Amino acid sequence: MTDWLDEIKWTDDGLLPVIAQDDETGRVLMFAWMNRDSLAMSVEKGEAVYYSRSRQKLWHKGEESGHTQKIKSMRLDCDADVMLISIEQTGGIACHTGRESCFYKEFANGQWHDVDAVIKDPKDIYE
C-alpha cells in the first residue's frame, strides 16, 4: 500500500525537499520540507502538509492563514529525492510576508532587491 513512499530517498533526517509551483501561472511559490507522515497526509487531504523543521512538527499549510494549497499533481525527480507539487494557492498568497511567492528578492547590480508587492499585511493574515 505504501510502496510509493518507500521509493523516495529520504534524507538521513527522514525529510524530502518540496517545491510548490502555482498550477495556473507556473510561478514557483515556496520551498519547504515533508516527512513521511506529512506526505501521506498531503495525499489523503489533497492539500499540502509540510514538516516544519524549526517547530519540529507537521504543518498543514494555511491552518492559521487560511492560505491552503490544493494539490493538483506531484512529481518526483530522477534521483527520487526532491518533489515538485503543482498547487492551487488559496488567497493567492503563499508567503508569510503576505506576498504571492516567497521568491521576491531579485539579484541586480550586486544586491538583492525586494521586487514584489505585499498583497496583504501579515498582521491581517495572522491575527
How many residues interact with its own copies (rule CB under 8 A)? 37
Should residue 1 be labelled a site residue for its own copies when binding is judged by CB under 8 A?
yes
Taking the CB of residue 6, how many other CB atoms lie within 10 A of it? Answer: 9
Q: Which of residues 2-61 bind its own copies (CB under 8 A)?
A: 3-4, 7, 17, 19, 21, 25-28, 30-31, 43
Long-range CB contact pairs, 52-58, < 8 A, 24+: 53/15
CA distance 79 to 76: 8
Nearer to its own copies, 78 or 124 (CB): 78
Answer for which of 41, 58, 84, 119 binds its own copies (CB under 8 A) is 84
Nearer to its own copies, 24 or 63 (CB): 24
CA distance 60 to 47: 8
